[in-house]
Structure formats: structure tokens, C-alpha cells
Structure 1
């Protein structure tokens, strides 16, 4: 007997002998507590995105300056939450914004859900601030790092302070290790790295996951060289589309590694896990799908965002507590310059303690079943 997803059966193995209900990752997301009144008037957006909490995450509610996309959060020693993300001027369409005009930025909040205050661009002295697929993280040596890819080659900027200044450390290096180049770099010219996520492993190494959802490991620091050590983790899995997958997010919690990967054609994101982060990745079910009442507030109000991408995770005290989603109120091609459509970053709370506990029980049940079959 093999257990492949969280939804295939009840987990019967627990310390108190009580069966856990069937769940997939999507079931652990929680309603959003509004950080202010839900607003409909005087802000951008189609009716599907109204009313909404303009203090959740980050947005420019009147679109006087910015649209926002990408992003990751770091909690700093000052106990503030620092969001490192992308923005572009509303004078660009969405497609022009993320493809050519995206710039790396920094925002800060006293609360993980927001509101986040836009502090400024993080490296305006380098290529006029260019940055795509921007994420932030804390390095093993304690410094703060920002990573950019997609519209740049794949660079790392570092600072001793979460507020910067961020200086260019260098460009990520890849050792293809006998694998195809496309597993490390985007298949389109100019073959930049894309969708780069970097995770600090408990063993002291750096783990990089690019658009391909392959695993790359560095023994020598955040710049690498990163050696490709696996194919796409979902390769050959019959439940998973084998093309057009993107936007992987990776984290470590509950004693195991997790990854989500998005199939943007259907706006479905899949969840995988591995005990060592390299071998034996297993499909665990649906992480997110955009065809229901997912973006729900505690009062029952629901926002429906046509495009939801770039999901990343925030882990605090060892558990995932919030996920960031980049959202737009229209189809990408319908968002033109200086119109009423826009994009923002939404923060969704997540019951990470329950998720990690139930995942540990799932893995324990799998091991028991495998042992019983020997």
C-alpha cells in the first residue's frame, strides 16, 4: 500500500489513536482578518476584487505610482517584517511591467499581514533598480540577501541591515553536473535564471530551486556554484502536468522539505514533500486553486482574483504562518497603462502548526505501511 496524497485516505496513526480528517495543503489556509475597513470606493479594481482590505499586504490603492508583484518576507532582529518584492510604474501595462520595467523594492510592517509601507528601491544605482522575481532571505552568516532573476541574469545583493544599503555581491553560478542547461536557466533567450528560490538548509548548505523545480545545491555559499542534483521533482508523476509549470516555492518545516509548483494554465498549484529535500519527492495534493472562494475574509466577504501567481511562504518559529500571493484584478493582457486595473501582494494566514503535525503523521503512516509490506 502506498500513500501518495494527503487526500487519499485517513491518517490512522497518531499518538492518541484518533484518525485525522482528509486534508490537502489548501485546507490549512485561514480567512483573512481585515487590518482596516473593506473598501470599494476611490480605489482601483474590477468588482471581483471589491470590497477589499487595502491594508492587507501591499498595494497602491489609487495607482498613483506603483503596481506590485513577486516578493518574500524576512523577520529581522528589529522584530519588524521586511518585504522584498518588485514594483513597476502604473504608466506600464502589466505585461510591460513585469517583463521590462520591474524594479526591486523594500517595504516594512509591524504585522506579517500588513499594511506594508513602501520604503524605496533597493539598488537604484545598479541598472536603474532592475529586478524581477525578487525574493529576500537571511544568509547563514546573518546578513540580509535579495535575489533577482527573470529580467536579470540571477544576481544576489547583500546588506548588514534589513534596511540596506544593498550592494551587488555577484551572479549565481551553476554547475550543470551532466544535466541539461534548461534545468538551471530559462529556455528562452537571453537564458536568464528564472523564478529563483533559495533556501538555507539546516545542514548549512544553500538549496536553489529555479523555474524547472529541479534541486540545485551549493556547498560554497549563496553564489554557488550550485550543482544540479535532480531532474524536475515532478517528472513522470501521472497526476502532474509535465509542461508549463512554474513559480516553485520551497521551505523547511516540521522536519521535512516542502515545495509548491504552479500550473498557470489552470491556476492550480501542487504540493510536494521530501524528507531530505533531494530524494523521494512525493506529490501531496493541491496547495492552491483559483476556482473557489479562497480569498475570504473573516466576515465572509470574498475577493476573486482572475490571476494568482508567485506564491511564496513565510516561516516563523519553525512553521509556515503566511503565504504571499501576487494578484491582479483582470487578465494580464487586459491591464493597460494608466487604467483602473492593477496588481498587489496579498497575505494569507496559514495554520502551519496543524499542517506540520498532520504531515508528520502522514509520513509516519507511510513508513509503517512500507515496513508492513516487506
Structure 2
């Protein structure tokens, strides 16, 4: 493994002849353009998240019915943006909501930042009463739409010919341990202890990427790389141990919520240290080997959720960071947020959760990353 931070080097970018300090991923996030007036009255939330744009992302602003969590976006052939996520009735506490009562849902917007409208009820009410956790959506290599659930389920995939469903159960993700610890892929019920084989137990924090080489790639909670040659259900062969295991910059416990994407000719991963709401950024040229530490993707001790007029929201809990890529570049990131601590978000109160969309300058990010990698290769060649 290689470990370099964006702040440890000054590189001469010979491609444009300008000396630049390497930037971290967090430097490419942009202020949020309000989709409506910033609101303080008649909505839920502690003062730290007021006023806010209730049309940004997905939320039930009056908490009449739902709290939202997880999520990933797919742009469909109808030119609309479809968010596939999790929800639970606000009559539950956050703890009971995500662990017991979380359901898979679908929302639609005309632009990636929102507002997203919750469409219909549950996306698979015929299966375990709509149960779903860590829900994401994606477009498969064959053009069909897929939704994936894990964490509180075993790791199931539902598919549809239409982004609006109906979504029918295709099957459960299969794992080829390939000599690795089964706990890298599957966990015991409610993630309490690794199981003894790769056929039972829950997967968690599952992110599936359609690789440009036609294969499917999973990064679960452990960040072990898993590759399928045979379609979205696998079997996924475990290819590595946790990719950050030898990186001194990354904590070795309490890591979760990896996100994965391909842009600028390389694979990117973010991984969250949830105790401090700090998310790290890693890259690899082939998505399997030689993951390199690239610095901070997100941290919650700065004025991160900022609007174009300067207003800032401070969300105490920020998790489940996922990416939306359009036209080859990451353009927005999704964040699941709560206005209080998880323990303070109780049933039938004025605390809640939603999904916030933050724009991102992906074109500049990919260009600069390409220059940095080119400079590193030139330096390595010169040192030989």
C-alpha cells in the first residue's frame, strides 16, 4: 500500500507549468444553491439546522410520516433523477427505526439536488413488509434498474425494467471467500460477530460499482474488495483485506459507510470514521491493488453545509456519504443527517433525519487528481 496525503507534498504540475499545493477532496465541495426559501418556522429541527432548505434532497419537513436515511441516485432514461433510499415511520426512535423498522423507498426529482418526492409507498411491500436497510440503487450492465438492501437483511438485490418498479427479488448476493475471513463480507445477525461461512449472516454498507471492464465490484463495510465475473448476484470473490489496514492516517476501528466510484481514469473510495464524522479519501488505478491515501473527503468540525448566501447548517450526525456521477464526473454527494445525537432522536418528537445533497466540482477534482498521479509517477520514475 502507498500512503500520501494531499498536504504532504508540493508538486510541480508539469502539464501546465504551475506549482500548486495538493488539495484534498473536501476542497472541491461547493455551496448549496437553495431550491426554495430557507425555512425556520413550522418544520422540525434544532436551531443548529435552521433555517434550512427543505427542498434540498429528501425530507418530510413536518415529520408527519417519515424519517429518511441511506440512498443513492440513478438518472433514468426519462431524464429524471431517482433516489432509492430507506425510511421509517417517525413514530420510531432513530435506533428502532434503522435497526427494526427501516423500509426501502423511491423518490424522484427533476434535478439532482432536489426536491425529491417520495413516490407511492414501499418498493417491495410483498417481501418482508418492505424491509430494507442501507438501501442503494444502480443501473445494471444489462440496462435494468436494481435496488440493494443490506445491514438488517442478508444482502438482497431487487430488479425492474423501469425506474418506477415494480421491483422484484432477483436473489441474494453470493460470496466466494477465496481463502479470506468470512467476516470481511458477511456479519452475524445485526452484525454481532462474524459468521463461520459465507452463506449466512448479513452483509453491511454494501456499495456496488459497475466497473468499466464489465465486472461488478462490491465494497462492504470492511472495505475488502469483492469482484464478480458473473453478474450482480455474484459470486463475488474476496480479493483483499481492508484496503486501509496499512494506512497510518486512517483509524483501525469504528470505520464504516464506504462509498466507491470511477472517474478521471481511476477508482475512488471514501470511508467514514463515524465517532468524529471524518471521512477519508483513497484511490487506486485498478480498484483492487495499491490503494493510496489521499486525505480528507469530509469532516464535520468545519462549516461544511453552507448555502450560497452564507447560511450554514451544522448537523451533529453525518453519515452514509454516497456519490452521484454524471457525464463521467462526480457532481453531488448524498449525506444522511440528524439534527441531534442519535439517542436524542426519539419517537414523535421534533428531531428527525433527512438526506442532504451537496454539489461537487467533479471536473476540477478529476483533472487535479490526474495531474497529481502523473506527477507522482514522474517522480517515481526519476528516482529509479
Please give the range of the TM-score, normalised by the shorter of the 2 chains. over 0.9
**Superposed CA offset, 1:337-362 (max 9, x none):** 00000000000000000000000011
- Cα distance in 1 for residues equivalent to 2:16 and 2:357: 34
Secondary structure of residue in 2 paired with 1:34: coil
Q: Which residue of 1 aligns with 2:87?
A: 87
Q: Which aligned pairs between 1:252-267 and structure 2 lie closer than 5 A?
A: 252-267=262-277
Q: Which residue of 2 aligns with 1:173?
A: 174
**Superposed CA offset, 1:281-336 (max 9, x none):** 00000000001100000000000000000000000000000000000000001010
Measured after TM superposition, the shift of residue 19 of structure 1 is 2.1
Q: Which residue of 2 aligns with 1:231?
A: 241
- Whether the 8 Å CA contact 1:236–1:242 is kept in 2: the answer is no
- Cα distance in 2 for residues equivalent to 1:251 and 1:89: 31
Structure 1 stretch displaced more, 21-30 or 202-211: 21-30
1:268 corresponds, among 261, 271, 278, to 278
1:71 equivalent to 2:81? Answer no
- Cα distance in 1 for residues equivalent to 2:206 and 2:33: 30
- Cα distance in 2 for residues equivalent to 1:3 and 1:248: 18
1:363 corresponds, among 358, 373, 376, to 373
- Alignment root-mean-square deviation, CA: 1.0
TM-score using structure 1 length: 0.98
Secondary structure of residue in 2 paired with 1:11: strand
- Whether the 8 Å CA contact 2:3–2:294 is kept in 1: the answer is no
The answer for unaligned runs of 5 or more in structure 1 is none
Measured after TM superposition, the shift of residue 241 of structure 1 is 0.6
The answer for unaligned runs of 5 or more in structure 2 is 193-199
Measured after TM superposition, the shift of residue 21 of structure 1 is 3.4
Secondary structure of residue in 2 paired with 1:133: coil
Q: Which residue of 1 aligns with 2:261?
A: 251
Measured after TM superposition, the shift of residue 185 of structure 1 is 1.3
Measured after TM superposition, the shift of residue 8 of structure 1 is 1.6
**Superposed CA offset, 1:16-69 (max 9, x none):** 211233310000000000000000000000000100000000100000000000
Secondary structure of residue in 2 paired with 1:360: helix
- Cα distance in 1 for residues equivalent to 2:14 and 2:315: 38
Q: Which residue of 1 aligns with 2:46?
A: 46
- Whether the 8 Å CA contact 2:3–2:247 is kept in 1: the answer is no
Q: Which residue of 1 aligns with 2:11?
A: 11
Measured after TM superposition, the shift of residue 239 of structure 1 is 1.1
Q: Which residue of 2 aligns with 1:154?
A: 155
Secondary structure of residue in 2 paired with 1:132: coil
Q: Which residue of 2 aligns with 1:312?
A: 322
Q: Which residue of 2 aligns with 1:116?
A: 116
- Whether the 8 Å CA contact 2:215–2:227 is kept in 1: the answer is yes
Q: Which residue of 2 aligns with 1:145?
A: 146
Structure 1 stretch displaced more, 202-211 or 4-13: 4-13
- Cα distance in 2 for residues equivalent to 1:273 and 1:92: 38
User: Alignment length, in residue pairs?
Assistant: 373
Q: Which residue of 1 aligns with 2:132?
A: 131
Secondary structure of residue in 2 paired with 1:195: coil
